[in-house]
Amino acid sequence: MMKKDETQTSREPSAGVQEIRYLTLEEIRDLALGAAFLGSGGGGAPFATLLQLEVMYERGGQVRLIDLADVPDDALVAPCGWMGAPTISDEKLPNGGEPLRGLEKLEEIKGQTVHSVFPLEIGGSNGLAPLLLAAQRKIPVVDCDGMGRAFPESQMVVFNVHGCSANPVIVTDCKGNCIVMDAVSNEEEEQIARTLSIAMGGSCHVIDYSGSGYQMKQHAVRGTVSLSITIGRTLRTAHYHGEDPFAALTTCLRASGFHRYGGVLFDGKLIDIERDTRGGFAVGRATLEAFGSDERIEVEFQNENLVARRDGAVVATVPDILTFMDRETAVPVTTEELRYGQRLKLYGVSVPPILRTPQALAVFGPKVFGIKNKYQPIEMINGWC
Amino acid sequence: MMKKDETQTSREPSAGVQEIRYLTLEEIRDLALGAAFLGSGGGGAPFATLLQLEVMYERGGQVRLIDLADVPDDALVAPCGWMGAPTISDEKLPNGGEPLRGLEKLEEIKGQTVHSVFPLEIGGSNGLAPLLLAAQRKIPVVDCDGMGRAFPESQMVVFNVHGCSANPVIVTDCKGNCIVMDAVSNEEEEQIARTLSIAMGGSCHVIDYSGSGYQMKQHAVRGTVSLSITIGRTLRTAHYHGEDPFAALTTCLRASGFHRYGGVLFDGKLIDIERDTRGGFAVGRATLEAFGSDERIEVEFQNENLVARRDGAVVATVPDILTFMDRETAVPVTTEELRYGQRLKLYGVSVPPILRTPQALAVFGPKVFGIKNKYQPIEMINGWC
């Protein structure tokens, strides 16, 4: 996966035109929109994080985005994000120091300065969160993530699918507590860190699966930050020009090469929503009813949307992406934002092959979430191919 | 508290006769008995740990006990013990590697070899546990502890009363997970570590409040390991010689200088026991009824016995020690061993002044446990002075 000629030997990326790319605030807003879409309902609503980034830009802060190929092989790179129930993190705001505290602890352990950061998951507010840390530390964000979407559990990253260890796992909270974990397995890490997130009030910051630039080039999902920006821009401009944003989205996703098969699975009104904060997750079920008919679709979620059933028949499951979007504006609606009476479209789209291998499905396929149906690609079920 | 002339400057204690003191197996059995008494019903029944020590001695292992004064000022000393509900640790045995894993992590963090260990609490199995670790690593056990008895929560140590930080807190479990915590306060440490102990199956090993020999001389409760041995020997020999072990215990405790006022508070049959594993603790209430009368005493516990009420009137509360003992043999019965029908004496004894200061009572006095009555010394309530 690594192109040798694109890597650098020095710590800093070369001063070529390509690498020095500061994101505009508009791009960051597009990123928020796109990450909310790729989050499959999870990762937390990006609103509060976006506000913090806007304030940071007003004060002269800037976020630099670099390509994964431009990260030196021996650089220390830190994937990061927030863990917890989005229903909680929506109200319990961070104090702002958690990510930096964790980063400094990682540097202390590794005896090396962190070169760059990127999102553990390119979903919702977790797709944005590393930008704040990067601007605080004046280091770049790498254009990649660990999942290619958002998943509810921390071991559901491609790094784990590929056999990498999460250690050292660094958990920090709003009070200033800092915990370093060496877990015997990535599943143990999830279990213990999840319990910590509950003890820490329902959300905490996590840095794990850190490693060298070389390792990241082998395992990270490339290009997903810029893909999110493209998705966000597509939705925004389509709406602005009076075009159908859902058609534009499908075209954009197909053109990306990442997500070939997508489309609206259902159009209707949210007539029922069950939601519970359980085991550190926001767990529940949402039901849409079509306009002028009694046809219904039911979506189960655990932070992220997991499975959609139309009148009992499965139309899509994890790892394919399922996102509720406002039927007029196409703004993604995360699971904790779902409310009775909302008029929504449920949009489904295929994920890249890297998320559909037997090894990947063993980590985040339907069976892991207790869904009885075997995984079937969304395009097969819906006759899109 | 430190006598300058007793401290050493070299790493190893001097080779004088006094310091090279290997405990005999009989002394260790006496220690188990004495620690179960000082545990005030908590610290876990010492039986399983004692078996492990017996096996270790059979295989040629030995435990060396040294005086706190013989620890060099600059030596790294590690207080350690198990955290959790004794109802669980009684059944969920350790794998044996947890304490050593934690010790090695401490050495890695501090960049210094651990000179010696001692019990965080001189109660029940926690009074014995560091002996196993010491024998494994061939380092001495220091004749002191962190509480002078056992308390249910990890911040209830004299180190905390004196303002020392628990950090770094090292938690290890039977699966091999290792967690290092920098908590913002010792109360936060307890809360997070307690949650970890639950996530780790109800018990885990903890090293905290580690520090230099100099610090230990300022803050540890001295002489409590040898006191436990003396208490155990007293109980054993009194029973053997057909003397009243309770009278012998009172004499022994008074002579120790630590526990001036002690005595049997009640003699009866256990007629009711409520016990629950809640919030990571064994919580409950035991009732004794006198023989030939309907007089009763009720004892509330949270791992340790906290308060005794005779027909509704308080006769003793934390931090004074309250221990149920077999009415014939005077063998202490820890809270998780209490069973309907047992014929027991409830023995109460005063604690040293260091545990009765306003600062100490703020950390482990009755109010902390939700007991409404203000602390009154046991000897005042019972007219023993």
Specify whether the CB–CB gap between A77 and A114 falls below 8 A.
yes
Q: Provide the token pair at A336.
A: 């904790």
Q: What is the pLDDT of residues A237-294, one digit of tens each?
A: 998 898 999 999 999 999 999 999 999 999 999 999 999 888 888 899 999 999 999 9
Tell me which CATH homologous superfamily contains domain A244-381: CV3147-like (2.40.390.10)
Region of B212 please: left (phi>0), alpha (psi -120 to 50) or beta: beta
State the pLDDT at residue B213.
Answer: 98
Is A48 touching B (CB cutoff 8 A)?
Answer: no
Angle between helices A224-240 and A25-38 (to 10 degrees): 100
Distance from CA of A192 to the nearest CA of B (A): 6
* Beta-ladder partners of B282: B277
In Å, what is the CA distance from B270 to each residue of B149, B247, B292, B324, B339? 24, 22, 14, 10, 7
Average pLDDT in the A43-59 region?
A: 93
CB contact under 8 A, B192 and A200: yes
Tokens 């295929």 -> residue: A350
The 3 state secondary structure assigned to A115-153 is EEEEECCCCHHHHHHHHHHHHHHCCCEECEECCCCCCCC
d(CA A285, CA A303): 11
Look-up: residue for tokens 């008919």?
Answer: A293
Measured distance CA(B71)–CA(B9) in Å, rounded: 9
A332-342: per-residue pLDDT in tens?
A: 999 999 999 99
Complex ipTM more than 0.85, yes or no: no
The hierarchical CATH code for the domain B258-381 is: 2.40.390.10
Pairing assessment for the beta strands A76-84 and A114-119 based on DSSP bridges: parallel
Contact A195 B191 (CB under 8 A): no
Residue ranges per structural domain of chain B: 4-225, 258-381
B306 vs A: CB within 8 A = no
Query: Which of B144, B171, B6, B209 has the alpha carbon at shortest distance from B82?
Result: B171
Range in A154-168, A191-205, A345-359, B24-38 with the lowest mean pLDDT: A191-205
pLDDT digits (tens, 9 = 90+) for B204-230: 999 999 999 999 999 999 999 999 999
Q: State whether CATH 3.40.50.720 applies to domain A4-225.
A: no
Nearest to B184 among A177, A181, A183 (CB): A177
Reading the block at residue B359, the tokens are 């600062």
Q: Would you call A177 and B180 a contact, using CB atoms and an 8 Å cutoff?
A: no
Flag residues of chain B having pLDDT under 50: 1-17
pLDDT at A86: 79
- DSSP characters for A316-381? EETTSEEEEEETTT--EE-GGG--TT-EEEEEEE---GGGTSHHHHHHHSGGGGT--SPP--HHHH
Dump strand ranges (E) for B199-280: 203-207, 211-212, 221-222, 262-278
pLDDT of residue A18: 52
| Nearest chain A Cα distance for residue B175, angstroms | 7
Which pTM value belongs to this model?
A: 0.86
Gap from B75 CA to chain A (nearest CA, Å): 23
Whether the CB-CB separation of B265 and B308 falls below 8 Å is answered with yes
Residues A342/A59, Cβ–Cβ less than 8 Å = no
* pLDDT tens by residue, B79-119: 999 998 877 887 888 888 999 999 999 999 999 999 999 99
